[in-house]
Amino acid sequence: MVGKIFLSYAREDLDLVRWEAQTMQMLGHEVFLDVDSLRAGVDWPDTLRDEIRSADRFILFWSAFSARSEWVKIEYTTALAVRESGQRPLFLQIIRLDREALPEALSSIQVIDRSAEERILLVTDEVHQSYLMQGLAGLLGPRTLIHLQSVTPRTVRVVAQKAEEAVAAAAGGGIDQVREAGRLPAHFAFPAYRARERRRKVIFVPGFMGSQLQQGGKRIWLDAFSLALGGMERLRIGTSSVNADGLVSVGNAFFIDQLGLTTQVVAWPYDWRRSVADVADQLAVRLRDLVASDRDSELVFVGFGHGCAVLRALAAFHRDLWHQARCGGAPVIFVAPSEHGTWRAAEILLNGSQILNTIGLLDLKHTARQIHELFAGFPAVLEMLPSSPAADLFAPEWWRDKARQPAEFALQQARQTRTALLAAIAPAEILCVLGESAHTPAGVTVDADGLRWLNTSEGDGSTPWALGVLPGVRAFRATMDANEILDNPVAVRAISDLIDHGVTNLLPPHAPAPR
């Protein structure tokens, strides 16, 4: 879903606004920027009002300059009328560029406050870093000292400082905001931000298959050599000494690297084969130690996919500890959740998973069917089964005409766990990021030709939206498959905005579909 966004701003802020616009365009949004979009000779007031009314969202860049602009006032007054019509309550968003007070008419609208943030530039290599230094020096002039502080191998933080204040700034003061840096070419840099007013620590819980597993000190998942030699057999439920010892880098490393630009990130790998209730017991030990050792940080929990269910289990089965850890009131961020399960779990039980078929081709000792059988014994797979009025896979009768029939007591236990999870965290505490894909598994039928999988375009590639997000949860939608979200720098920046501000201008709001 690509949306049209109207940007309202003062001309003095154009460079920074252009940079923000380019970032939105990287996600495929159509951005209306008057210097680019209006042609000479048009009737500006009428055209602007028409463009605002036809937009999906209106973003106001607020500063001392925009406060004095009559054009900006006309634009946000029109946007307020659209918002107050009752049809689009999330239509108007505000990005604050400095400490200029908002007018009373805008005071009730949630703000993304950039005024208290320092700029971080994402730069791809040493050549571009050198070019960046020269470009900043040319923009800011000889009376400014510029420091590029390495953050990661791909990123630097820019600190610009007046030369005459260099001595006084040694204690940490006197940092200028580098707004002119917005003129730098977008092909090698765009901004991330670092909030300086609050100290937050992000606890990240990855998805299903997203943690490395070892058995008896030997890495099994995800190690190609071990898998080729039939190592998956050593992960069968009942095998002792299986532990999680890190994250699978694919789908996790980039996210942690980029989010680490703006806050400290602590990753929690876990044994994704097991029931989320058992995983929660293990993670509760880590959380208790963290709460006891770091009383100054506000903890923000971010879960991806199955990791969202793990966080719900932590809240459900360790309620007092969960409330103690979240006493600061920070939101819980769910990325690509499967609140009512996913048909990907049914694919595993019905021998239809493409991922497991690929593992079967790699494994020299087991067939794909045997790999499916092994995964079918994981309690986590049953807990991820989809459940809706149209198809309740926790009901034993659903399986009567299928080749594999899970034990009734196992289905009952999985249903009880799911029920406990859904009641654990209030919808108002959650901010959700969903993906979007033209093909998402949404059901299966059985006929003379065997299994026939059904697809929907109203899902994230793994889970239909109707199963993925609960009513009452504030959700935002990224125009990409769920498995691409954590690898997309703009989507990661949107998640960072949700952590720091509780809202993002980069993703459109999503209304949950009725179940």
Q: One-letter amino acid identity for 185?
A: P
Phi, psi of 392 (to 5 degrees): -105, 100
- Cβ-proximal residues to 170 (8 Å cutoff; 6+ apart), any chain: none
Q: What is the pLDDT averaged over residues 363-388? A: 95
Which of the four pLDDT bands, split at 50, 70 and 90, describes residue 3? confident
Give the 3-state secondary structure of 325-389: HCCCCCCEEEECCCCCCCHHHHHHHCCCCHHHHHHHHHCCCCCHHHHHHHHHCCHHHHHCCCECC
pLDDT grade for 164, boundaries at 50, 70 and 90: very low
Which one is predicted more confidently, 106 or 124? 106
pLDDT over threshold 90, residue 58: yes
Q: Quick check: bond before 222 cis, omega within 30?
A: yes
Lowest mean pLDDT among 61-70, 80-89, 218-227: 80-89
Question: Which of 76-85, 338-347, 379-388 is least confident?
Answer: 76-85
Q: How far is Cα 55 from Cα 58, in angstroms, rounded to an integer?
A: 7
Q: Over range 416-437, report the average pLDDT.
A: 95
Mean pLDDT value across the chain: 83
Mean pLDDT over residues 193-200, rounded? 59
Q: Which residues pair with 147 in a beta bridge?
A: 159
Name the residue type at position 379: P
Q: What is the mean pLDDT of residues 423-430?
A: 93
Mean pLDDT of all residues in 96-120: 83
What values do phi and psi take at 299, rounded to 5?
A: -85, 130
Q: What is the pTM of this model?
A: 0.82
Q: According to the model, what pLDDT value does residue 176 have?
A: 35
Q: Evaluate if residue 140 carries a pLDDT over 90.
A: no
Q: Domain 4-113, CATH 3.40.50.10140 — does that match?
A: yes
Name the DSSP class of 188.
T
Task: Report residue 495's pLDDT band, with 50, 70 and 90 as the boundaries.
Answer: very high
Hey, which of 104-108, 210-214, 442-446, 506-510 has the most confident mean pLDDT?
210-214
Mean pLDDT, range 291-303, rounded to an integer: 90
Kindly state the tokens that stand for 337: 């959740």
**Which of 298, 288, 284 is CA-nearest to residue 499?**
298
Query: What value does the mean pLDDT take over residues 314-321?
Result: 96
Q: State the average pLDDT over residues 180-185.
A: 38
3-state secondary structure of 500: helix
* CA–CA dist 375, 371 (Å, integer): 6
Predicted local confidence at residue 512, as pLDDT: 55
Residue 448's pLDDT is what?
A: 66
pLDDT at 451: 78
Supply φ then ψ for residue 214, to 5 degrees: -125, 160
Average pLDDT rounded to a whole number, residues 36-51: 66
Check whether 370 has a pLDDT greater than 50: yes
Query: Tell me: the pLDDT tens digits for 215-225?
Result: 988 999 999 99
DSSP class of residue 482 equals: G
Q: Which one of 93-102, 155-164, 274-283 scores highest in mean pLDDT? A: 274-283
Q: How confident is the model at residue 208 (pLDDT cuts 50, 70, 90)?
A: very high
Which of 25-34, 75-84, 351-360, 495-504 shows the lowest per-residue confidence on average (mean pLDDT)?
Answer: 25-34
The phi and psi torsions of 331 (rounded to 5 degrees) equal -70, 160
Strand partners, 113: 96
- Is residue 396 a contact partner of residue 387, using CB atoms and an 8 Å limit? no
Q: What is the pLDDT of residue 445?
A: 84
Q: Where in the chain is the domain with CATH 3.30.70?
A: 117-197
- The token pair at 127 is 């050549």
- Residues spanned by CATH 3.40.50.10140 within the chain? 4-113
pLDDT band at 134 (very low <50, low <70, confident <90, very high): low
Mean pLDDT of the 313-340 span: 94
Beta strands 242-247 and 211-215, pairing class: antiparallel
Q: Which CATH architecture has domain 117-197?
A: 2-Layer Sandwich (3.30)
